[in-house]
């Protein structure tokens, strides 16, 4: 069962959402920058690649959560600024985070730029409106370290709400959603691969050409499908890999019930497809 109310430490990270950078104490920003610098290496085995387009309302909370990462692997954090016109870059600079600018607009272009820039053997993809637990990196990477046949991992996720209204309908929505994840994991795991929490072998991804920049949305899942042809995709069920992401896009569908019905209709439409493996 997937919990609907985030743990206390996640809610502490979440408190920085929608908080202007000028309203955050200089000491907090400075300590965050120090922690972020302390966990990174010049010779990373793992590259955490985030993308951002006008994320001033969320990005500090994400970086703050990442500053508490604990990993046995040398790592780097890289953010791709995809034409932000707000204070996103200022926040990155004040936190001392390495960033690159990608002028071509779109998820795939941004993730592709990050993939090319990443130094690590493994790339972990993340988003700048998502909050991460301290053992996220190791929990995602270890399956690939232990089994060379696994080329990609992905984790479960839960929502955090801006209004902290964790109602019973959200609980039911989360349970239905996670059952859908487990169902798809049998034959079509790539449908579960999402850019806010996936890890893969960089060399294999580059050999496939990386992200398909002709796809506006779903380029992460398409890369997952390509990776499936090269080895195993593994769902990481460990709670240490469970990430908490914003509900803003779900609520754009008109609320939980409309979002649920929309996703249910898609699932039912392709129900029998789930028993076969999708081909490229």
Give the pLDDT confidence of 121-152 residue by residue, as tens digits: 999 999 999 999 999 999 999 999 999 999 99
Token digits of residue 140:
């995602």
Token digits of residue 74:
């040398």
pLDDT > 90 in the chain, percent: 72
> Is 262 a residue whose pLDDT tops 60?
yes
Q: Using only C-alpha atoms, what is the Rg of the chain?
A: 18
Task: Say how far apart CA 163 and CA 102 lie, in whole Å.
Answer: 33
Task: Tell whether 75 is covered by a domain.
Answer: yes
Question: Among 14-23, 110-119, 267-276, which is the least confidently predicted range?
Answer: 267-276
> Is 228 a residue whose pLDDT tops 70?
yes
Confidence of residue 279 (pLDDT cuts 50, 70, 90): low
Q: In the predicted model, what is the mean pLDDT of the chain?
A: 90
Span 104-129, average pLDDT: 97
Residue 275 is predicted with a pLDDT of 57
3-state secondary structure of 272: helix
- Only one residue has tokens 């085995």, namely 45
Task: Tell whether 178 is covered by a domain.
Answer: yes
Question: Is residue 67 a contact partner of residue 2, using CB atoms and an 8 Å limit?
Answer: no
Task: Tell whether 280 is covered by a domain.
Answer: no
Span 5-15, average pLDDT: 92
Beta carbons within 8 Å of 161's beta carbon, 6+ residues apart: 170, 247
Residue 181 is predicted with a pLDDT of 87
Rounded to 5 degrees, what are φ and ψ at 90? -60, -40
Task: Tell whether 177 is covered by a domain.
Answer: yes
Task: Tell whether 225 is covered by a domain.
Answer: yes
The H or E element spanning position 116 is helix 107-117
> Is 15 a residue whose pLDDT tops 60?
yes
Number of domains in the chain: 1
Token digits of residue 161:
């709400």
| Residues 162-211: tens digit of each pLDDT | 777 777 878 877 777 788 888 888 888 999 999 999 999 999 999 999 99
Rounded to 5 degrees, what are φ and ψ at 274? -70, -10
- Give ∠ CA 270-274-280 in degrees, rounded to 5: 90
- Give ∠ CA 227-150-268 in degrees, rounded to 5: 60
Span 101-128, average pLDDT: 98
Token digits of residue 180:
């859908």
Span 96-119, average pLDDT: 98
> Is 92 a residue whose pLDDT tops 70?
yes
Q: By C-alpha distance, which of 68, 198, 181 is closest to 123?
A: 198
Residue 3 is predicted with a pLDDT of 61
Token digits of residue 41:
């290496």
Task: Say how far apart CA 169 and CA 155 lie, in whole Å.
Answer: 23
Residue 71 is predicted with a pLDDT of 98
Residue 234 lies in domain = 8-275
Question: Is residue 162 a contact partner of residue 251, using CB atoms and an 8 Å limit?
Answer: no
Question: Is residue 180 a contact partner of residue 172, using CB atoms and an 8 Å limit?
Answer: no
Task: Say how far apart CA 203 and CA 205 lie, in whole Å.
Answer: 6
CATH, residue 179: 3.90.550.10
3-state secondary structure of 81: strand
**DSSP state string for 121-158:** SEEEEEETTEE--TTHHHHHHHHHHH-TTEEEEEE-EE
Residue 253 is predicted with a pLDDT of 58
Confidence of residue 119 (pLDDT cuts 50, 70, 90): very high
| Residues 72-89: tens digit of each pLDDT | 999 999 999 999 999 999
Span 33-53, average pLDDT: 98
Residue 263 is predicted with a pLDDT of 61
Task: Tell whether 136 is covered by a domain.
Answer: yes
What is the b/e burial string over 129-146, where b = at least 16 CB atoms within 10 angstroms of the residue's CB?
bbbbbbbbbbbbbbbbee
């Amino acid at each position: 069962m997937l919990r609907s109310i985030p743990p206390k430490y996640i809610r502490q990270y979440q408190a920085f959402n929608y908080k202007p950078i000028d309203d955050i104490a200089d000491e907090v920003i400075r300590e965050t920058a120090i922690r972020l610098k302390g966990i990174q290496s010049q010779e990373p085995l793992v590259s955490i690649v985030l993308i951002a387009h006008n994320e001033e309302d969320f990005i500090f909370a994400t970086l703050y959560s990442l500053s508490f990462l604990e990993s046995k692997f040398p790592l780097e954090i890289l953010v791709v600024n995809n034409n932000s016109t707000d204070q996103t870059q200022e926040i990155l600079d004040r936190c001392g985070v390495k960033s690159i600018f990608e002028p071509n607009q779109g998820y795939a272009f941004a993730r592709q730029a990050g993939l090319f820039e990443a130094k690590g053997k493994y790339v972990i993809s993340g988003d700048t409106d998502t909050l991460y637990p301290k053992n996220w990196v190791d929990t995602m990477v270890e399956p690939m370290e232990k089994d060379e046949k696994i080329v990609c991992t992905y984790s479960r996720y839960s929502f955090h709400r801006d209004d902290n209204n964790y109602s019973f309908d959200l609980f039911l929505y989360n349970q239905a959603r996670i059952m859908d994840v487990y169902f798809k994991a049998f034959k079509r795991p790539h449908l579960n691969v999402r850019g806010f929490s996936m890890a893969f072998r960089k060399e294999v991804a580059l050999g496939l050409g990386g992200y398909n920049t002709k796809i506006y949305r779903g380029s992460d899942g398409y890369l997952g499908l390509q990776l499936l042809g090269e080895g195993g995709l593994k769902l990481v069920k460990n709670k240490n890999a469970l990430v908490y992401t914003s509900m803003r896009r779900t609520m754009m569908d008109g609320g939980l019930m409309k979002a649920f019905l929309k996703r249910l209709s898609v699932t039912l439409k392709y129900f029998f497809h789930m028993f076969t493996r999708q081909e490229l």
